[in-house]
Structure 1
Amino acid sequence: MKQTVATLRKMKEEGKKIAQLTCYDYTTARLMDEAGIDMILVGDSLGMTMQGYNDTLPVTLDEMIVYGRSVARACQNTFVVIDMPFMSYQISPAQALESAGRIMKEAPGAGAVKLEGGALMAPQIKAITDAGIPVVAHIGMTPQSVNAFGGFKVQGKGEVNAERVLQDALAVQEAGAFAVTLECVPPKLAALISKKLDIITIGIGASSCCDAQVLVYQDMLGMASGVSPKFVKHFAEIGQQMKEAFADYKAAVQDGSFPTPEQTYAKSDCSDEFLQSLDAKYSEEGYIKRIS
């Protein structure tokens, strides 16, 4: 069944948990779609996972569209959300609408856009949703604000900060977002927000209290380098398996065990005599004489 805003809302109403993963390419998206993943986020996290930057800030709108359209083409049933990158919406509601419009027009099959920020971004969210484009908001630890936060840190600690995160959640709902990502938010606060909101809450490092969960797929498959965030669970160690497969391939090439006859096309229709004549015809000495 094709997931839509309506079907995802129904899942929340019925108390069914929603599974979301990030994805950035056609092949992986096809596998996620076949596995029944409910939502895919084409995240600007690709700046780190696919491009090797230290944060998401260098990612451009054009890049998000290219990655997004590849993912959307693969998904028959999974609902695809595409991130709006840094400075593609912050300047004004008009800029936000133009950027969101480009994403939806140039990445056919996408179902929604996502942007970071709470109450301050409410005008942008309203402008986009008023144009008929579904929006996922993102509050708590917002990676595009990593420099303002002084790093990737838990948000909503302490009474003042907790109230601010709740106010942000209510503001994005009022502005028209159909879902909101809560990143690195304490469990009790995430539970309160999920109870207060009618819209879908998507947790990443925000406990199981949320309506949905999202992880970066390279993290959950054990492909990421370095120490994984506390909220990550490795559901497989694909990274190690890939390294072993790459090493096995290199060894097989070097020792001549690959390719075998089973990996080789049928014999040539040419006779051995003809091939020998070609060998003689194009021998280095004879060939040089003919072209000189």
Structure 2
Amino acid sequence: MIELKSADEIGRMAVAGQFVGGLLAELRGVAAVGVNLLEIEQHARRRIKERGAESCYWDYAPSFGRGPFRNVLCLSVNDAVLHGLPHDYVLRDGDLLSIDMAVGIDGWNADSALSFVVGTPDPADLKLIEATEAGLEAAIKAAQPGGRLGDISAAIGEVAHAYGYGVNAEFGGHGIGRTMHEAPHVSNDGRAGRGMRLEPGLTLAIEPWLCATTDKIRYDQDGWTIRSADGSRTAHSEHTVAITESGPQVLTARPTTIPPAA
């Protein structure tokens, strides 16, 4: 069942979204060469507790994981793209890190992700990250009232293919609101003009992710971490978006300046 949200409920989701966007920007500042992934996880736990928020990831136990998930972040490095378990790993110069986070405040949830290079970037990695960001931007522009769900999927796929990347459709975006994962599923490739009609009040987590030289994935033995099948680099971008009468509203926009990490 798909629940359309009122303007007031979208406003409540925006409160969670503002916190998620701000904390992701802060975590980007925390991540640096020589920093352990567990330090980033602990920083996020502290911030979430201080805000009185709740992690959507903690105790999450879907059919595909070896759960329950006992972290507040997904931290995916280099060839890992989704659901990376925070573990004892010290970031190295040139690592490509993806941070994914979903948080609830007063019963309303928001979900977002970003990818970036720690230290010295490889141009190929920057291109891959740019493709996910461009795909996300195109998808958000396509999330217009009266349109179709396939418009969003097609926008992502068109950008990915234009950049020269394949698309894996096993995991994609999703509805979000009172819970982290709601209907509908939002594929990262599709045909414009197809699928359900986009109505004001629909709230979606749109999340293009790409692997550099394959569209196949594999799982780590931890049952969670998803990697490119051929070991190539990966990237992931995500925002929570509300469809309104006047167009799409990004609820997890990040501040343009990175706040200091305390």
TM-score range, shorter chain: 0.3 to 0.5
> Please, what TM-score do these two structures have when normalized by structure 2?
0.34
More helix by share: 1
> Please, what TM-score do these two structures have when normalized by structure 1?
0.31
Higher-RCO chain (CA-CA 8 Å, sequence separation at least 6): 2
Larger radius of gyration: 1
